[in-house]
C-alpha cells in the first residue's frame, strides 16, 4: 500500500541518495526528475499522492510529496540559493557536501566560505486554487482522492458535511466562527475550520493581528495558497496557467520566524534587511503554516479541471473519448431538453446556450481570437431568475463565476489585476481566471446611476475581454496584455451594453407562477448520474478536433456569395465569422469532427431563426415611443 512508498513519504531521502551517488556530477538533477516522473507514470500512482486541495495542511506530513491543483497567480523574481554547500561538523571538523535543492533551509554549520558551494537559480510562483472551481468538482475530486488512503493520519470521513456547508455561502459564516467556541476541542472538523478561517477573511480572534490577504482572484474564495519553488523549465510556465504540481511540501516554522522576528538594531545596521518593505515581507514570506512552500518536482498542465474526465492525455483517455462519442448525440438531446426547461421552454435559446458552454478560443490569428462565442441572453425575467440560472450553469461546468453588474460592484470591484509596487506583487482581480472559466455577467442587476472612473475602466475591461479575449493588466507605468480564454455569458433585460458575438432574445413559452419553485423542481428532477453525464459531455466536446473539408469549404463560399447576391447589406463578413463559429460548435456538440454540408445548413438555419427574432425585437422596440 502507499504507505510503503518512500518516494511519497520521504522524497528528500530519494533526492539525497541520488545526490550522494552522483559525486557532484550535475546529471543527477535530471535523474531525480526522471525518477519521479517515472513513478508518477505508473498506473494510479498519482492518486496515492495526497492533494493540498483536499487534505487540510496540518494533516500532511512535512517534507512529503504532495500535489496541488492550482493557477499561477503571480511570478516572483528569481532567487539564488545554495545548490550545493558544505557543512562543518563542529565536533569532528569534517566537511560534508550537502544538497540544497528542494529545500528552504540549510543544515547546521554551513561553511559559507567553502569553495565547493554552487549557487543555483530558482523561481517562486504564487499559486492559488483554481478560482471559481465549482463545489461539485471539488467534492468529486476529493471523494476520488479518499478512495485510496492518503499517507497521512487524516481520516476524511467528515469532509462531506463541511463541503455542503461551503455551498451555502456567506450565511453560514457567523455560525462557523462560533463553532470553535461551542465545541472547543472537538473533532477534526472544527480544527480544520480554525486553520481555514483566516483565509476566508473571517479571522478568528487569534489571527486578528496578522491578517493576511491571500490574494485570491475572486472574493469569498478559500483554500490554501502556495509558494511553489520552480527549478526547471522556467520559461514554459505562464501566468494564469492551470497546473497540477507534484512537489515536496515544506512547512518549516523557521521560515515564519525569519520573516517575523525583527531585531530593530540589526535592521538598522544590516542594509540587506532594509531592502524589503514590511508589505513586501508579508507578501513574499507569509507564515508557512498558512502559505506552505512546495518544491516542484513535476508539473502537469491541466487542460480542464473536470474530475470526471481522465486528466492525463493517455491511452485510457482516448478510449474514454471513443466510448463516450457513441453516447454523444443522446446526451446532447437530453441536455438540450434540460436546458430548454431551464430557459422556460425556449428551445432556440437552449441550443445557443449549449453551444456557448462548449465554446473555446482554440487559436489566435494575429490579434483575432478564433472560436470565442460570447452569448447575450436578453429579455431575462427579473427577480432572481438569473441567479438560479447561474446556479444551474455552475452545476454543469467545472469553473464559473457570477459577476453581478450592479452599479456598486462595477464602481468598487477590482476586475483587472494591478501590480502593487510597494508589496511587489500582482494584486489579483476578478478577471484573472483560468482557461474556459464561465463568466456569468448579470446585467439585470444594473440600475440607473453614474459610473465613476473605475467603473468605466471596469466596463472597458469587460468589453476588451469579450472582443479580444485579453485583459490588460495594470502595471501603473504601462499596461501589459495577457491573453485569456473565458466564456462570457451576459444576461440582460434589453440588448446588453457590452459587445457580444451573438444576441438571443429569450422568448419564454411558459410563465410559471413561482420561478424559484419551477427551477428547483427541474433541477431536482435530474439524477446525479445524469448531471455527471452532462458535465463530461460539456468538457469533452470542447477538446475534440475539428476540420473543414475542401468540398464543404467550397459550398460555404458559394453559399456566402449567393446570400450576398440577394442582399449585400444583410450578410456581412462578420455574419460569416459568426456562422462559421456556430457551425463549428454545432458539429462538435454532435460529436462530429468535420463540418458536413448538413451541419452548415443547420448552422445557417438556426442563425436565421435567431436573426429574425432579434429583428422582430427591434421592430417591437421601434414602435415604442
44: phi > 0 → left, psi -120 to 50 → alpha, else beta; which?
left
Nearer to another protein, 52 or 581 (CB): 581
Output the smallest distance, CB 129 to another protein, in A.
Answer: 19
3-class state of residue 435 by DSSP: coil
Cα→Cα distances 543→16, 361, 368, 385, 436, Å: 41, 11, 20, 31, 11
Output the smallest distance, CB 238 to another protein, in A.
Answer: 3
Output the smallest distance, CB 104 to another protein, in A.
Answer: 6
For residue 359 the three cell numbers come to: 465554446
Contacts of 139 (CB under 8 A, 6+ apart): 160, 163
Output the smallest distance, CB 76 to another protein, in A.
Answer: 8
Output the smallest distance, CB 285 to another protein, in A.
Answer: 9
Nearer to another protein, 335 or 585 (CB): 585
- Whole-angstrom Cα distance, residue 97 to residue 117? 9
Output the smallest distance, CB 362 to another protein, in A.
Answer: 10
| Cβ pair 104, 44 in contact under 8 A | no
- Whole-angstrom Cα distance, residue 9 to residue 299? 18
- Whole-angstrom Cα distance, residue 8 to residue 51? 12
For residue 56 the three cell numbers come to: 487540510
Output the smallest distance, CB 606 to another protein, in A.
Answer: 18
Nearer to another protein, 42 or 77 (CB): 77
3-class state of residue 75 by DSSP: strand
3-class state of residue 414 by DSSP: coil
Nearer to another protein, 77 or 168 (CB): 77
Output the smallest distance, CB 464 to another protein, in A.
Answer: 10
Nearer to another protein, 77 or 171 (CB): 77
Nearer to another protein, 237 or 324 (CB): 237
Three-state SS letters, 256-314: HHHHHCCCHHHHHHCHHHHHCCHHHHHHHCCCCCCCCEEEEEEEEECCCCCCCCCCCCC
Nearer to another protein, 78 or 174 (CB): 78
Nearer to another protein, 151 or 240 (CB): 240
Nearer to another protein, 367 or 382 (CB): 367
Kindly tell me the sign of the dihedral angle through the C-alpha atoms of 597, 598, 599, 604. positive
In eight-state DSSP terms, residue 472 is: E
Output the smallest distance, CB 601 to another protein, in A.
Answer: 15
Output the smallest distance, CB 419 to another protein, in A.
Answer: 8
Please give the distance of CA 236 from its chain centroid, rounded to a whole number. 18
Nearer to another protein, 310 or 499 (CB): 499
Helix ranges (H only) for 397-548 are 407-412, 453-468, 515-525, 528-543
* First-to-last C-alpha distance (Å) of the chain: 76
Output the smallest distance, CB 525 to another protein, in A.
Answer: 38
Output the smallest distance, CB 91 to another protein, in A.
Answer: 14
| Cβ pair 437, 399 in contact under 8 A | yes
| Cβ pair 217, 432 in contact under 8 A | yes
Output the smallest distance, CB 498 to another protein, in A.
Answer: 16
3-class state of residue 377 by DSSP: strand
In eight-state DSSP terms, residue 361 is: -
Output the smallest distance, CB 80 to another protein, in A.
Answer: 4
Nearer to another protein, 30 or 105 (CB): 105
Nearer to another protein, 67 or 229 (CB): 229
3-class state of residue 465 by DSSP: helix
For residue 316 the three cell numbers come to: 485510457
Kindly tell me the sign of the dihedral angle through the C-alpha atoms of 62, 65, 68, 74. positive
Cα→Cα distances 233→99, 183, 236, 346, Å: 20, 48, 5, 50
For residue 360 the three cell numbers come to: 473555446
In eight-state DSSP terms, residue 2 is: G
Nearer to another protein, 174 or 301 (CB): 301
Nearer to another protein, 572 or 612 (CB): 572
Q: What burial letters (b/e) apply to 1-25, b meaning 16+ CB within 10 Å?
A: ebeebebbbbbbebbbebbeeeeee
Nearer to another protein, 121 or 598 (CB): 121
Output the smallest distance, CB 480 to another protein, in A.
Answer: 6
Look up cell 517515472; give the residue. 38
CA atoms within 13 A on the CB side of 242: 21
Please give the distance of CA 8 from its chain centroid, rounded to a whole number. 26
- Whole-angstrom Cα distance, residue 146 to residue 47? 9
3-class state of residue 84 by DSSP: strand
Nearer to another protein, 339 or 552 (CB): 552
Output the smallest distance, CB 370 to another protein, in A.
Answer: 6
Amino acid at each position: 500500500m502507499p504507505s510503503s512508498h518512500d518516494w511519497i513519504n520521504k522524497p528528500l531521502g530519494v533526492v539525497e541518495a541520488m545526490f550522494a551517488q552522483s559525486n557532484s556530477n550535475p546529471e543527477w538533477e535530471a535523474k531525480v526528475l526522471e525518477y519521479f516522473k517515472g513513478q508518477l507514470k505508473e498506473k494510479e500512482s498519482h492518486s496515492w499522492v495526497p492533494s493540498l486541495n483536499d487534505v487540510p495542511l496540518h494533516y500532511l506530513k512535512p517534507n512529503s510529496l504532495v500535489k496541488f491543483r492550482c493557477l499561477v497567480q503571480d511570478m516572483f523574481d528569481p532567487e539564488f540559493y545554495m545548490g550545493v554547500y558544505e557543512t562543518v561538523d563542529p565536533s569532528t571538523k569534517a566537511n560534508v557536501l550537502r544538497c540544497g535543492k528542494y529545500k528552504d533551509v540549510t543544515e547546521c554549520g554551513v561553511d559559507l566560505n567553502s569553495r565547493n558551494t554552487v549557487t543555483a537559480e530558482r523561481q517562486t510562483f504564487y499559486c492559488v486554487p483554481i478560482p471559481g472551481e465549482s463545489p461539485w468538482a471539488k467534492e468529486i475530486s476529493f471523494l476520488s482522492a479518499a478512495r485510496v488512503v492518503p499517507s497521512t493520519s487524516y481520516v476524511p470521513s467528515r469532509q462531506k458535511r463541511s463541503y455542503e456547508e461551503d455551498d451555502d455561502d456567506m450565511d453560514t459564516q457567523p455560525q462557523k466562527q462560533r463553532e470553535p467556541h461551542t465545541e472547543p476541542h472537538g473533532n477534526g472538523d472544527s480544527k480544520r475550520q480554525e486553520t481555514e478561517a483566516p483565509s476566508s477573511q473571517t479571522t478568528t480572534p487569534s489571527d486578528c493581528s496578522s491578517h493576511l490577504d491571500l490574494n485570491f482572484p475572486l472574493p469569498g474564495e478559500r483554500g490554501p495558497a502556495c509558494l511553489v519553488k520552480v527549478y526547471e523549465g522556467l520559461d514554459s510556465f505562464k501566468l494564469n496557467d492551470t497546473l497540477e504540481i507534484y512537489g515536496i511540501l515544506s512547512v518549516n516554522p523557521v521560515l515564519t520566524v525569519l520573516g517575523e522576528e525583527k531585531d530593530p538594531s540589526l535592521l538598522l545596521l544590516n542594509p540587506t534587511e532594509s531592502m524589503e518593505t514590511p508589505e513586501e515581507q508579508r507578501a513574499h514570506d507569509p507564515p508557512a503554516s498558512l502559505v506552505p512552500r512546495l518544491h516542484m518536482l513535476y508539473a502537469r498542465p491541466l487542460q480542464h479541471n473536470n474530475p470526471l474526465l481522465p486528466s492525463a492525455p493517455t491511452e485510457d483517455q482516448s478510449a474514454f473519448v471513443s466510448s463516450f462519442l457513441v453516447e454523444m448525440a443522446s446526451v446532447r438531446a437530453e441536455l438540450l431538453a434540460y436546458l430548454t426547461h431551464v430557459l422556460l421552454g425556449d428551445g432556440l435559446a437552449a441550443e445557443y446556450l449549449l453551444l456557448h458552454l462548449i465554446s473555446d478560443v482554440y487559436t489566435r490569428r494575429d490579434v483575432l481570437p478564433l472560436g470565442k462565442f460570447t452569448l447575450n441572453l436578453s429579455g431575462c425575467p427579473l427577480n432572481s431568475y438569473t441567479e438560479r440560472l447561474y446556479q444551474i450553469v455552475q452545476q454543469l461546468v467545472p469553473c464559473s463565476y457570477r459577476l453581478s453588474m450592479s452599479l456598486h460592484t462595477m464602481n468598487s470591484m477590482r476586475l483587472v489585476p494591478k501590480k502593487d509596487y510597494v508589496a511587489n506583487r500582482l494584486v489579483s482581480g476578478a478577471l484573472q481566471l483560468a482557461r474556459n472559466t464561465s463568466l456569468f455577467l448579470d446585467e439585470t442587476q444594473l440600475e440607473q446611476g453614474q459610473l465613476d472612473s473605475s467603473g468605466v475602466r471596469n466596463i472597458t475591461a469587460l468589453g476588451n475581454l469579450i472582443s479580444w479575449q485579453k485583459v490588460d493588466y495594470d502595471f501603473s507605468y504601462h499596461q501589459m496584455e495577457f491573453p485569456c480564454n473565458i466564456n462570457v455569458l451576459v444576461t440582460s433585460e434589453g440588448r446588453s451594453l457590452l459587445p457580444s458575438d451573438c444576441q438571443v432574445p429569450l422568448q419564454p413559452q411558459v410563465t410559471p407562477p413561482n420561478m424559484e419553485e419551477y427551477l428547483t423542481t427541474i433541477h431536482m428532477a435530474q439524477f446525479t448520474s445524469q448531471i455527471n453525464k452532462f458535465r463530461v459531455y460539456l468538457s469533452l466536446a470542447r477538446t475534440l478536433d475539428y476540420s473543414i473539408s475542401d468540398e464543404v469549404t467550397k459550398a460555404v463560399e458559394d453559399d456566402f456569395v449567393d446570400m450576398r447576391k440577394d442582399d449585400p447589406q444583410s450578410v456581412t463578413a462578420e455574419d460569416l465569422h459568426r456562422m462559421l463559429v456556430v457551425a463549428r460548435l454545432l458539429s462538435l456538440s454532435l460529436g462530429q469532427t468535420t463540418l458536413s454540408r448538413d451541419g452548415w445548413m443547420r448552422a445557417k438555419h438556426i442563425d436565421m431563426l435567431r436573426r429574425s427574432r432579434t429583428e422582430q425585437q427591434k421592430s417591437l422596440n421601434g414602435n415604442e415611443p
